[in-house]
Structure 1
Amino acid sequence: MITAQAPGKLYVAGEYAVVETGFPAIIVALDQFVTVTVEATKHFGSIVSEQYQENSLYWQRQGDEMVFDNRDNPFHYILSAIKLTEQYARELDKPLALYKLYIDSQLDAKDGKKYGLGSSAAVTVATIKALAKFYDLKMSKDQIYKLAAIAHLDVQGNGSLGDIAASVYGGWIAYRSFDKAWLAAARNQMSLADLINTDWPDLSIELLTAPADMQLLVGWTGSPASTSQLVDKITLAKAKKPQLYRDFLTASRETLEKLIDGFRNRSLSSIQAGIRRNRELLDELAHFSGVAIQTPALRQLVELAEQAGGAAKSSGAGGGDCGIVLIDSHQAIKPLLAAWRDHHIEPLKFNVHEIND
């Protein structure tokens, strides 16, 4: 029996811009995990999870048609991860086997709560890590990231794949996305083994160290959001208002470079200034795109945190889910957490998860 796990994540800054090639974001891995166990079987294989079921389908109307969107269903990421990992195993002349795959997630609670911690990315990474052990593939973190990125992209079709990086490398990371057009072309020219062993244009993953006096607080607003659908809407706004979108990208890059330097210099004040500026930029993006990135609950979370001396913003695509606060660890935080609860915002007791192996 083989077990592997991958942590969930939250975006700290750089959302939306990071989907463009080479634009930076900061992401943090958290101590909430997807765990995948693989056990060899003789007669048939199975995939078992209390949280992920194939009967959870989401659909919308386009005219009179029912259109299904499986991008938020982790089950499809599990299947994609299995397919790609076994393709890689066959390229290495490994014989394939039957097995039971058991998935347990702390990222999607049994009572249905979804915190927006990147469960689809974490389950993709954990599945690949477990099967890599099962087939004795001896994969490096870079190889796991690339294989998981391909598997995830095959299902989601958009996004930055930064959540994959957080689940593979852990801790605080500065992330810049690779050229997806290059990847699409390269997949037609290269074997999977060659593809995950070559350098990917513009991809950059840098481990960061947080200032010793900085504390991360996370609040959940109680309303889940679909990252894929929000990114789709921003893509439409990009086509309709290209100059405003380009201005947003330029300002986001400038802000994130300063924020990353704040981490390198261990400067809490610089990091907090970057968080506040990034929040302003996301408000501008929301205004010209018509996408509700910062919901009333997220705005309340931010206002209460700023009153307490923290720098706060929505995390990830927004539209619900979590907000993050970076605050001096010497500040009293109990009054802030109590104020959140008074406004039906749930403080989440998550810590940063470092991966040292």
Structure 2
Amino acid sequence: MITTKAPGKIYIAGEYAVVENGNHAIIAAVNRFVTVKLKKTSGTGLITSKQYENHMLRSHRIGSKMVVDNRDNPFQYIISAINVTEEYVQTLNIPPQTYEINVNSTLDNGDGKKYGLGSSAAVTVATIKALCELYQLKITKIELFKLAAISHFDVQGNGSLGDVASSVFGGIISYSSFDRQWLADFRKKISIKELLKLQWPDLEIIPLKIPNSLKFLVGWSGSPSSTSNLIDKVELKKGKNNSRYQKFLHDSNKCVREITNGFRQNNIRIIMNNINWNRLLLRNLSKFAHVDIETPALTKLIEIADKFGGAAKTSGAGGGDCGIVLIEKECDINQLIKDWKENGIQRLDISIYEH
């Protein structure tokens, strides 16, 4: 039995801007995971998940190709991860295997509601890690990222893939999004083996470290959101507000650079001031794109944190899901958490996960 896991993620800064090539975000891996268990079988393969107890997906091989019964399929990211990794394995002339995969996740609330912690990225990364172990592939982290990014992009078709990078590298990273159109074009022209060897345009992943004097809090609004839908809505509006959108990109990158410098200099004032600025940038984007990024529940989360001296903002696409707070460690957070609870906001027992 092979067991692998990959962490979820939460955005600290740079959301929306990072979907454009070469733009930056800061992302933290968190101590909530997707776990994949894989064992070899003969004949028929199987995919099951604790989160989808009424579903199982069977597969079989025709020659070297894995054929999946795709009716009523909730496992699309797992299937894509399998297909891409198997495609890579074929280029290495490794004999194909048949296997069962079981998936379990702590990235939701137990009732199936997702917190917005990047479950699709984490399950993609964990599945590929398990298959690489099965086939005894020695790959680097950047190669794992590229395999997972291809798999995820094949399904979703948009997004920055920063959540994939966070699941692969762990800790806090500064991430610059690569050219997705370049990937789409070269995916049709060359093998995955060759794609892994290339330098991907604009891709940059740099590890950062949070200052010891800062505490990191995550609050959940109680409402899930759809990242893909929100990104699509901004995409539709940006052409009509191009000058404002370009200013947003410029300011967001400047803000992320300042936060990155704050991490490197161990300067909590720089970090917290620019977290607050990033919140204002996202609120401005929300207005001109007519997208509900900061919901009333998230506004309440932020206002309560601000009252106790924290720097807070929405995380990820917003529209629900989570907000983050950075606050000095000596501050008493008990009353903050109590006020959150009284306003329907749940503090998640989450910390930054280092590999």
Q: Same fold (TM over 0.5)?
A: yes
Structure 2: state its 5+ residue gaps: 57-72
2:197 is paired with a residue whose SS is coil
Task: State the distance in 1 between where 2:165 and 2:190 align.
Answer: 23
Match of 1:107 in 2: 107
Match of 1:297 in 2: 297
1:39 is paired with a residue whose SS is strand
Task: State the distance in 1 between where 2:43 and 2:282 align.
Answer: 53
Please report how far the alpha carbon of residue 269 of structure 1 lies from its aligned counterpart in structure 2 after TM superposition.
0.7
Specify the code of the residue in structure 1 equivalent to 2:49.
S
Specify the code of the residue in structure 1 equivalent to 2:12.
V
Moved more, 108-117 or 81-90: 108-117
Please report how far the alpha carbon of residue 241 of structure 1 lies from its aligned counterpart in structure 2 after TM superposition.
1.3
Specify the code of the residue in structure 1 equivalent to 2:169.
Y
Please report how far the alpha carbon of residue 137 of structure 1 lies from its aligned counterpart in structure 2 after TM superposition.
1.1
Matches within 5 A, 1:160-309: 160-309=160-309
Given that residues 74 and 119 in structure 1 are in contact (C-alpha distance below 8 angstroms), is that contact kept between their aligned partners in structure 2?
A: no
Task: State the distance in 1 between where 2:53 and 2:249 align.
Answer: 38
Please report how far the alpha carbon of residue 109 of structure 1 lies from its aligned counterpart in structure 2 after TM superposition.
3.8
1:78 is paired with a residue whose SS is helix
Please report how far the alpha carbon of residue 111 of structure 1 lies from its aligned counterpart in structure 2 after TM superposition.
1.5
TM-score, normalised by the number of residues in structure 2: 0.93
Over the matched positions of the two proteins, sequence identity in percent amounts to 52
Specify the code of the residue in structure 2 equivalent to 1:233.
K
Matches within 5 A, 1:1-357: 1-52=1-52, 75-355=75-355
Task: State the distance in 2 between where 1:301 and 1:349 align.
Answer: 16
Moved more, 41-50 or 296-305: 41-50
Please report how far the alpha carbon of residue 334 of structure 1 lies from its aligned counterpart in structure 2 after TM superposition.
0.5
Deviations 1:299-332 (A, max 9, x none): 0000000000000000000000000000111111
Given that residues 50 and 110 in structure 1 are in contact (C-alpha distance below 8 angstroms), is that contact kept between their aligned partners in structure 2?
A: no
Structure 1: state its 5+ residue gaps: 57-72
1:240 is paired with a residue whose SS is coil
Q: Residue 74 and residue 298 in structure 1: after superposition, are their counterparts in 2 closer, same or farther (change >3 A)?
A: farther
Match of 1:67 in 2: none
Given that residues 74 and 123 in structure 1 are in contact (C-alpha distance below 8 angstroms), is that contact kept between their aligned partners in structure 2?
A: no
Deviations 1:145-204 (A, max 9, x none): 001001000100000000000000000100000011211222222210110122111000
Please report how far the alpha carbon of residue 53 of structure 1 lies from its aligned counterpart in structure 2 after TM superposition.
6.8
Task: State the distance in 1 between where 2:169 and 2:52 align.
Answer: 24
Task: State the distance in 2 between where 1:185 and 1:345 align.
Answer: 44
TM-score, normalised by the number of residues in structure 1: 0.93
1:31 is paired with a residue whose SS is strand
Specify the code of the residue in structure 2 equivalent to 1:348.
L
2:247 is paired with a residue whose SS is helix
Deviations 1:35-81 (A, max 9, x none): 0011001121000102147979xxxxxxxxxxxxxxxx861100000
Given that residues 219 and 324 in structure 1 are in contact (C-alpha distance below 8 angstroms), is that contact kept between their aligned partners in structure 2?
A: yes
1:18 is paired with a residue whose SS is helix
Task: State the distance in 1 between where 2:144 and 2:323 align.
Answer: 29
1:196 is paired with a residue whose SS is helix
Given that residues 214 and 326 in structure 1 are in contact (C-alpha distance below 8 angstroms), is that contact kept between their aligned partners in structure 2?
A: yes
Moved more, 187-196 or 297-306: 187-196
Specify the code of the residue in structure 2 equivalent to 1:129.
K
Q: Residue 125 and residue 52 in structure 1: after superposition, are their counterparts in 2 closer, same or farther (change >3 A)?
A: farther
Task: State the distance in 2 between where 1:53 and 1:251 align.
Answer: 45
Task: State the distance in 2 between where 1:240 and 1:54 align.
Answer: 45
Specify the code of the residue in structure 2 equivalent to 1:248.
F
Equivalent residues, number: 340
1:51 is paired with a residue whose SS is helix
Please report how far the alpha carbon of residue 352 of structure 1 lies from its aligned counterpart in structure 2 after TM superposition.
0.6
Task: State the distance in 2 between where 1:126 and 1:185 align.
Answer: 26
Specify the code of the residue in structure 2 equivalent to 1:148.
A
Task: State the distance in 2 between where 1:54 and 1:25 align.
Answer: 38
Please report how far the alpha carbon of residue 110 of structure 1 lies from its aligned counterpart in structure 2 after TM superposition.
3.3
Given that residues 52 and 75 in structure 1 are in contact (C-alpha distance below 8 angstroms), is that contact kept between their aligned partners in structure 2?
A: no
Aligned-residue Cα RMSD (Å) equals 1.5
Given that residues 48 and 55 in structure 2 are in contact (C-alpha distance below 8 angstroms), is that contact kept between their aligned partners in structure 1?
A: no
Given that residues 141 and 168 in structure 1 are in contact (C-alpha distance below 8 angstroms), is that contact kept between their aligned partners in structure 2?
A: yes
